[in-house]
Structure 1
Amino acid sequence: MGADSRAEHAGRGRSTRAVVLAACGGLLVTGCATMPDSGDVQAVKGAGTGDSQVRVYAVAPRENADPDEIVDGFLEAMTSDDPGFATARKYLTKKAAQGWRPEQSITVLTTAPDREQADRNADPDNQGRAFPLSGRKIATVDARHGYQPNSPAEYLQSIHVVQQPLANGKGKEWRIDSLPPGLILGEADFLRNYRSVNKYYFASGEDWVVADPVYIRQRQDPVTRMDPVTQTVKALLEGPTNWLKPAVDSQFPSGTELKAGVTTLTTDDQSTLRVPLNAKADRAGGEACRRMAAQLLFTLGDLTSVRVEQVELLGSGGQSLCRLGKGQAVEFAAVRDTDREEHPYFVDEHGKLMMLLVGGKEANAPVEVPGPFGKGTVPLRSVAVDRGETRAAGVGQTGRELIVSSITTEQDPLPPVLTSRAARPDDRLSAPSWDGRGDLWVADRDPAAPQLWMVPDGTGHPVKVRTPWLGDGARIESLRVSADGVRIALVVTRGERTTLQIGRIQRQTTDEEQIVSVLDLQPAAPRMESVKAVSWAGPSRLVVVGREAGGVQQIRYLQTDGSTSTTSVLPGLNGVTSVAAPHEETVPVVADSDDDGIVRLAPGTNWQPVAKKGFSPVYPG
């Protein structure tokens, strides 16, 4: 059912009750032929997986429709943009239509749900018919628009239909009286109707924002009738997703909503967006209001459908509360010096730290950095460069010692800030990572005492990070901390599987100590059977090297919530052991390949060699 499998299901002899149109001025997708004025509605396959230009228009049940048509028609109608899902509700009994809440949740399957023939034994009283639905469930979307992935698992539900009297009392008609909650969509229909947007909230107690990805409708929301801009603002005002909530704060006063009746928000000729709020926001002013406006500016900056240069917040009486422009909002970014060129680094075959200049069409020869890491007096096994590109943290060749050194001035090697006691080099320290606060993170993989460490400012007394999940044979292979310091990407081996997990970082300072925890690990690549490497690639995106079950190694972009799209796979590259992505998309991705050495991938090109030998490529972070 839906755009992803409509033709396939019609081929099984099942009635198709929806019309699929593309953006061809009201013409049909296949060849953009004109709409026929007679004959039956025919199945039309969508223009492509998740193509947002494909439109599905729901068709009401025909007179005397049999139970199979009722179920098929309803499943099709769920994939449409029908206002209020009014047509979909026509397939339901009055009671079921009143109780159905399509906005409360979305169940995402790999393909559209497969409707089996009615199971007569499921209704022993013979009052109706039960139709089993099956598929492979890959995610759910909750009422706060949060995407929650899972490894593909069997989905089994059912839809029950009964006969009810016609309105005129002359006969009966089949209608659905029991159904699963929310919407049930195949992945292609989900991506056609919904898009990922980052909401932004402030890291708890800090002055920089954190991305919180959610999904909103591509077009007008059938339930709220809001356009995408208004949906996005509404989602921001509703607060952070349940997973991120313990680590962030919203500056909007509790209960702040859009002014009643607002369904459309548009910019003026100065690209200013005026956002009318309810009375809860009336007292907001000064710095608090500026921070509210900053949250809106960062959030709306992710929408390609609108250009917002300035936000003005309006109170319940239409009065101006405050204004903020994009240039002013930069002070609240997790990465603030976005105009400064990011440089990738790697360790050469002699263990020296080298910097790459990759801004042009051709990469220049690697440059040796100042200090002991560049001179080779401290040969390296892995490295991380801080976000200001003034210091680096290196793990020595034996994997035992973590050392921090300047990479802008000459200095003698400093004593290690952390040492592992593990017997084997591979069981010692992982590659380190810097967060945006300037704190340094590393995992000790000692089987006798596995531990995640945080070193304040890279030179302070190491803090044992509380990791209640790090037990029962779990091992951290590698890690990368986000620039905002609120999330950490972890490659974790447990048993035979190596998976990518996203953990939430929570901090608490008492009179005696700083308490740091990584909690509530969530799968970020549930469909990958094995993950080799990961890098942050912006506020809520990752570049992941891994392999799906039965597949070959691939490099692809993933959202931190585990969602993806069919266009996220990077060009193939053999034997990739590590990858590094920049914060800005205009700078090349860099990787380490067993076959090709250090290579780079500039936007719109293929992989290009940079250095024949080397390893541990990193961007600052």
Structure 2
Amino acid sequence: MGGERVRRGRGTPARTVAYAACGAVLLAGCASMPDSGDLRGVESTPRKDTQVRGWPRPPRGHGTPPQTVPRLLGALHRDDADYKTARQYLTPEASKYWRPEQSTTVLSDGPGARADREPREDSTALTYTLTGTKFATVDAQQAYAPASGQYSELVRLVKDDKSGQWRIDAVPQGVVMGKSDFQRNYTSFNKYYFASNVDVNGSSLPMAVADPVYVRRHVDPTTRMVRSLISGPTSWLDPVVRSSFPTGTQLRKGAGPLTPDDRGTLTVPLNDRASEIGIGRCEEMAAQLLFTLRDLSPAVEEVELRADGGQLCSLTQDGAETVATRGALNQPDHLYFLDREHKLVRIAAGSPGADPEAAPGALGQGEQGLRSVAVARDERTAAGVGLNGQELFVSALAQGATLGEPVLRSQGKTEQDRLTPPSWDAQGGLWVADRDPARPGLYLLAQGADQPLQVRTPGLEGRIRAVRVAADGVRIALVVEKGDERSLLVGRIERSGPDEAGSSERTTVTVVELRSATPELEQVTAMSWAGDSRLVVVGREHGGVEQMKYVEVDGSTPDVPPPAALTGVKALTAAGDENAPLVAYSVDGIVRLPSGAQWQKVTQGTAPVYPG
């Protein structure tokens, strides 16, 4: 249909066995093979230039394994769409049933291969066990998850009677490779959906939520990301988001590869399931695509959606921001912190030379000394925890606003066993945790004023030490203390109305499926959201020193430089706007880290926060 266009791997039998084994390992993702010595684990290729592309070579002639294996070493994890070359090393039957896209298992080092019996020179079949230590997995939805434990899978090779060539006739589903090969061949991108249970405070636009997935870096990532977006969100995020693509929508049969033209316009042909949508829904679909494809190269400046032979709509990057919003689009006006007198003060965001000014309202006038603060995302309201950590106050950021009574009190016996610093969500809800060992809990106050609602946290083990809600309003980051460890966990926020039986008159809020974002850190001391799916964290590995790093919500490490080292970090904050400098409270007071620079002193003070 037509539509209105809107811009908006000793030469003895044992050696033969070694090469055959590496052939098996290759199909599981190895990248290098020893050409002398005993059989041993094949190590993953050291990570070098991530832009170097490898083209796999198919089997050739009637060579023995020592002749053929070196040609296939890169067949699995190099730039070969649909693993066509790798399949040539499988028997026809094995190739028919092998599903490489089903999963990717990442090992700390390359997979090792162990012969299950002593091979003979006249062997026509060889069975090997692939082994290694798990580091992570990527599932069929391309979702990443940290992993641990031992990997052990069987691979069987057979010798063809006619050609004398070795082929694999039993191989594990999916692929397996070393960490360095994975880092070189895969990259993470965010695809975007809309929050289904969040009404953004003060905005009629839907809130976009980032759903990180991993795709092969050089194998048509644009088309793969479009297909992944249309197929729907990953299972973890699905309960709290929606997609504007109608159920059953796919790329039109035969479409691809998708490439923007010389004007940066990407044409996306869809099947007829999308042919009857209205202009508003079409623009939301286009906005999802533009948010998803913004970091790909070549750049996509405009998306044109087509179906049933006609144009549905067209939308530009600038136009997408008028259709939907996302956390990174929210630019803070101010950076807030506490001065030496424990009053709330602020400076213009990104202006290190400005003198702090008292924040308007009671919290800036010193009526109550504060130890921590949070400012609502619209910068109209602020919340602060008193000096002893026992009481939570809320006040408007307006001249003449009064303080009023505390909205929540902790009964913890010591300051460290009382209230955490608070955090505001996209709906204007105020979140805080009580660290009282006798009555630990996570609380939500709608608009910062309603009766505190205790948030359900099924499966949570330990006490919450810090709380930060994502700008999208559907994810929450918690520092949880259990024994001697403090871990960073990310959970999904689910909301439901009063139950049908009428036993509950209030919305039920639950944080579910908590997962670790920093499995290698045992002591997390500070954290903040630093983008649509990224956090910045200060912590320490077992036996290590304190470090500051970026992490993704799925537990992976982004391929970006970590922040410059900073000692004695007690608190830090980052804005959704990636251009805003990182700010921390350290032994030097309030310091900031502009892009490409070193830490700079801002002023004396404590507890810095951007809105949120």
- Identify whether the pair has TM-score above 0.5, normalized to the shorter chain: yes
TM-score bracket, shorter-length normalisation: 0.7 to 0.9
Counterpart residue number, 2:281: 288
For the residues of structure 2 that align with 1:566 and 1:230, how far apart are their CA atoms?
22
Judge conservation of contact 1:399–1:425 (CA < 8 Å) in 2: yes
Q: Which amino acid aligns with 2:113?
A: E
For the residues of structure 2 that align with 1:201 and 1:122, how far apart are their CA atoms?
54
Residue 103 (1) aligns with residue 107 (2): no
Counterpart residue number, 2:468: 480
Q: Cα distance, 1:269 vs. partner?
A: 4.9
**Count of aligned pairs between the two proteins:** 573
For the residues of structure 1 that align with 2:66 and 2:346, how far apart are their CA atoms?
64
Q: Which amino acid aligns with 2:265?
A: T
Q: Cα distance, 1:586 vs. partner?
A: 1.8
Counterpart residue number, 2:75: 77
Residue 546 (1) aligns with residue 546 (2): no
CA 1:342–1:559 in 2, change beyond 3 Å: closer, same or farther? Answer: farther
CA 1:10–1:387 in 2, change beyond 3 Å: closer, same or farther? Answer: farther
Q: Which amino acid aligns with 2:105?
A: T
- Structure 1: gaps (5+ residues): 18-42, 221-226
Tell which deviates more after alignment, 5-14 or 321-330. Answer: 5-14
Judge conservation of contact 2:114–2:130 (CA < 8 Å) in 1: no
Counterpart residue number, 1:447: 437
CA 1:464–1:184 in 2, change beyond 3 Å: closer, same or farther? Answer: same
Residue 327 (1) aligns with residue 318 (2): yes
For the residues of structure 1 that align with 2:116 and 2:451, how far apart are their CA atoms?
66
Q: 2:521 aligns with which of 514, 517, 528?
A: 528
Residue 578 (1) aligns with residue 590 (2): no
Judge conservation of contact 1:453–1:465 (CA < 8 Å) in 2: yes
Q: Return the structure number with greater relative CO, CA threshold 8 A, min gap 6.
A: 2
Tell which deviates more after alignment, 80-89 or 246-255. Answer: 80-89
Counterpart residue number, 1:25: none
Counterpart residue number, 1:156: 152
Matches within 5 A, 1:254-293: 254-293=247-286
Judge conservation of contact 1:10–1:16 (CA < 8 Å) in 2: no
Tell which deviates more after alignment, 331-340 or 555-564. Answer: 331-340
Tell which deviates more after alignment, 519-528 or 82-91. Answer: 82-91
Residue 139 (1) aligns with residue 152 (2): no
Tell which deviates more after alignment, 320-329 or 419-428. Answer: 320-329
CA 1:409–1:56 in 2, change beyond 3 Å: closer, same or farther? Answer: same
For the residues of structure 2 that align with 1:517 and 1:454, how far apart are their CA atoms?
11
Judge conservation of contact 1:383–1:395 (CA < 8 Å) in 2: yes
Counterpart residue number, 2:91: 93
Q: 1:375 aligns with which of 365, 389, 397?
A: 365
CA 1:287–1:149 in 2, change beyond 3 Å: closer, same or farther? Answer: same
1:56 match: secondary structure: coil
Counterpart residue number, 2:343: 352
CA 1:584–1:193 in 2, change beyond 3 Å: closer, same or farther? Answer: same
Residue 183 (1) aligns with residue 180 (2): no
Q: Which amino acid aligns with 1:326?
A: Q
Counterpart residue number, 2:215: 216
Q: Which amino acid aligns with 1:381?
A: R
CA 1:475–1:203 in 2, change beyond 3 Å: closer, same or farther? Answer: same
Counterpart residue number, 1:608: 600
Q: Cα distance, 1:8 vs. partner?
A: 8.0
Q: Which amino acid aligns with 2:98?
A: W
Judge conservation of contact 1:16–1:76 (CA < 8 Å) in 2: no
Q: Cα distance, 1:341 vs. partner?
A: 4.5
Q: Cα distance, 1:403 vs. partner?
A: 0.8
1:293 match: secondary structure: helix
Q: Cα distance, 1:306 vs. partner?
A: 1.6
Judge conservation of contact 1:71–1:176 (CA < 8 Å) in 2: no
For the residues of structure 1 that align with 2:536 and 2:365, how far apart are their CA atoms?
31
Q: Report the identity percentage.
A: 46
For the residues of structure 1 that align with 2:264 and 2:178, how far apart are their CA atoms?
37
Counterpart residue number, 2:394: 404
2:287 match: secondary structure: helix
Q: 2:305 aligns with which of 287, 298, 313?
A: 313
CA 1:552–1:44 in 2, change beyond 3 Å: closer, same or farther? Answer: closer
CA offsets 1:140-167 (integer angstroms, 9 cap, x no match):
11111111123x4333334232323235
Tell which deviates more after alignment, 318-327 or 333-342. Answer: 333-342
Counterpart residue number, 1:119: 116
Counterpart residue number, 1:425: 415
Judge conservation of contact 2:333–2:348 (CA < 8 Å) in 1: no
1:190 match: secondary structure: helix
CA offsets 1:541-561 (integer angstroms, 9 cap, x no match):
111111223322111111111
For the residues of structure 2 that align with 1:141 and 1:578, how far apart are their CA atoms?
33
Q: Which amino acid aligns with 1:368?
A: A
CA 1:363–1:273 in 2, change beyond 3 Å: closer, same or farther? Answer: same
If the length of structure 2 is used for normalisation, what is the TM-score? 0.86
Counterpart residue number, 2:561: 568
Q: Which amino acid aligns with 1:142?
A: D
1:516 match: secondary structure: strand
Q: Which amino acid aligns with 2:190?
A: N
Counterpart residue number, 2:15: none
Q: Cα distance, 1:216 vs. partner?
A: 1.8
Judge conservation of contact 2:106–2:178 (CA < 8 Å) in 1: yes
CA offsets 1:316-367 (integer angstroms, 9 cap, x no match):
x22122233333322454457947544222223332222134524x543333
Counterpart residue number, 1:35: none
Counterpart residue number, 1:515: 508
1:234 match: secondary structure: helix
2:100 match: secondary structure: coil
Counterpart residue number, 2:8: none
CA 1:257–1:44 in 2, change beyond 3 Å: closer, same or farther? Answer: closer
Q: Cα distance, 1:393 vs. partner?
A: 0.9
CA offsets 1:360-380 (integer angstroms, 9 cap, x no match):
4x5433332122222222111
If the length of structure 1 is used for normalisation, what is the TM-score? 0.85
For the residues of structure 2 that align with 1:127 and 1:337, how far apart are their CA atoms?
59
For the residues of structure 2 that align with 1:337 and 1:142, how far apart are their CA atoms?
27
CA 1:100–1:508 in 2, change beyond 3 Å: closer, same or farther? Answer: same
1:165 match: secondary structure: coil
Counterpart residue number, 1:27: none
For the residues of structure 2 that align with 1:573 and 1:178, how far apart are their CA atoms?
52
Judge conservation of contact 1:330–1:336 (CA < 8 Å) in 2: no
For the residues of structure 2 that align with 1:276 and 1:210, how far apart are their CA atoms?
24
For the residues of structure 1 that align with 2:41 and 2:132, how far apart are their CA atoms?
19
Residue 463 (1) aligns with residue 453 (2): yes
For the residues of structure 2 that align with 1:145 and 1:518, how far apart are their CA atoms?
24
CA offsets 1:484-520 (integer angstroms, 9 cap, x no match):
1000011111223211111000111227221111101
Counterpart residue number, 2:610: 619
Judge conservation of contact 1:441–1:453 (CA < 8 Å) in 2: yes
Judge conservation of contact 1:209–1:332 (CA < 8 Å) in 2: no
For the residues of structure 1 that align with 2:425 and 2:579, how far apart are their CA atoms?
22
Counterpart residue number, 2:127: 130
